[in-house]
Amino acid sequence: HIIQSAFNGRRIVIFSGGAKGEDQKMFDEARAIRDGGGFGSIIGRNSFQRNKPQALEFLSTVMKIYAGELK
């Protein structure tokens, strides 16, 4: 329901929580979810516990992975 209410899946939804991990591990996990047909990760802790420029860069990479712009 959350994906449908987020502009029918055209917007990213970030849930707080999730384990804090290394960037590459988080990106690999996003790729695995995408490749398995999923769309989304619980990665709030990995974005909210950074300064704003780092958080935006991290989230941009995750969004590009889900959009298929990054392999």
d(CA 27, CA 10): 20
In a domain, 5, yes or no: no
- pLDDT means per 10 residues, the chain with 71 residues, are 61 75 94 88 88 95 92 88
Phi, psi of 43 (to 5 degrees): -130, 20
**Does the residue 49 lie in any domain?**
yes
> Which residue is associated with the tokens 């929580």?
17
pTM of the model: 0.79
Residue 30: per-residue pLDDT: 92
| Residue with token string 């802790």 | 45
Is 43 a domain residue? yes
Domain annotation covers residue 6? no
pLDDT at 37: 86
pLDDT of residue 24: 96
Residue 71 domain flag: no
Residue 3 falls within a domain, yes or no? no
Domain encompassing residue 38: 14-66
Q: What is the pLDDT of residue 18?
A: 81
Domain count, the chain: 1
Cα separation, 55 vs 46, whole angstroms: 8
